[in-house]
Amino acid sequence: MSKVACIGECMIELKQAQGTQQGTEAGLYSRGYGGDTLNTAVYLARLGASADYITALGDDSLSDEMIAGWAAEGVGTARVVRLPGKLPGLYMIETDDKGERRFFHWRDSAAARSLMDLPQTPEILSSLAGYDVIYLSAITLSLYGGEGRARLFAALKRAREAGARFAFDTNFRARGWPDLDVARAVFQEALAAADIVLASTEDLLPLYPGESNEALLARIPGAEVVLKLSEPASILRLQDALHPVQAEPLKAPVVDTTAAGDSFAAAYVAARLAGADPIEAARAGHRLAGVVVCHPGAIIPRAAMPPDLISATSRKASP
C-alpha cells in the first residue's frame, strides 16, 4: 500500500452548534478538532490510503484526545512529537447564511510551530524518504521560521531523490504571512519543488491580485497542476495542455465550506495513488468536496462519505 506523510498542525475546533446560529443560543459551540493537513490525512485514510500525520502536540488531555481520534480514523501517529507543557492551538468557525466560513485563531504558542526546531527534527525529516507522497500546505510552511523551512525543503529534495512525490496545497491564510514578499518567495520555492500542485484562485489572487487564470498557472512550473476556480470547477494543466473539469451539481444546500479544499486534495491524491488519471482524480476531488460542504465542521460523519469514490475512479481510469 502506498504511504502518504501529511505535515502540519491540528487545532481544537469550535463550531457553532447546529440550530444556534440565530436567537438566544447563538453563543453555543461544539468542540472538535481540525487543521487543513490533518483533515486531508483523515479523508485519505477513509479513502483507503495509508496516511501518517507529522506534527507536534502537548502532553495535555486535549492532545491525548486528538491522537486517539486520529488513530480511530486509521491515521498513523508514530511521528507525532509530544512536548511537555505545550498545548495545541485553537480556532473558531463562524459561518454566514451561505455557508461561507470565517476563522478566528489562537495559536501563536502552539506546539506544532516548534516541529522544525526539535531534537527529534532530523529523524523526522529523514523519515520522509520512506513515503510515496509527502503532502503539506502553505499553512504548514507559515508555521516555521526561515531556518525551519530551509530544513524542510532540503529534506523534501532528498526524499524526492529517493523516489517520493511532493504534493503542495497552496492553502493561504494572510494572518500567517505578515510579509507578503516573504510569502511570495516561499510559494515560489514550494511551487518549483512540487510534483503535484493543488492550487486555487482563492489562495493565489491575494498574492498576485488581478491576474488571470492563465497568468496564475504560468507561475507554477510543475507538470501536474490543479487550479480550483471560484465557481465549482477546476483547470488541470498536464504537460502544458489545459483541461477544464466541471463539478457535479450539489445534492444538498451548502452549510459550511470548511475543509472543501482539504477533502478535494485527499480524494485527488488517493485517486492518483489508486491509478486514476489526473482528470478523474479531479472529478473525485470535486465529488468529495461537494459532500463535505453540505455538513458543518471540517470532518463529516463517516456515514456521509460518498460510497466507492476511489474504486469507481480507478475503474474509469483502467484501460
Neighbours of 168 (CB within 10 A): 27
pLDDT band at 316 (very low <50, low <70, confident <90, very high): low
Q: What is the pTM of this model?
A: 0.92
Overall domain count for the chain: 1
94 within domain boundaries? no
pLDDT(54) > 70: yes
17 within domain boundaries? no
182 within domain boundaries? yes
69 within domain boundaries? yes
pLDDT(319) > 50: no
Three cell numbers written together for 44: 485519505
pLDDT tens digits, residue range 106-142?
A: 888 899 999 999 999 999 999 999 999 999 999 999 9
pLDDT at position 309 is 93
271 within domain boundaries? yes
The DSSP symbol for 276 reads -
Catalytic residues: 262
Q: What is the CATH number of the domain that holds 237?
A: 3.40.1190.20
Q: Give me the domain span that covers residue 306.
A: 3-9+36-80+117-317
Angstrom distances, CA of residue 109 to CA of 72, 75, 85, 305? 27, 25, 11, 34
Cβ-proximal residues to 185 (8 Å cutoff; 6+ apart), any chain: none
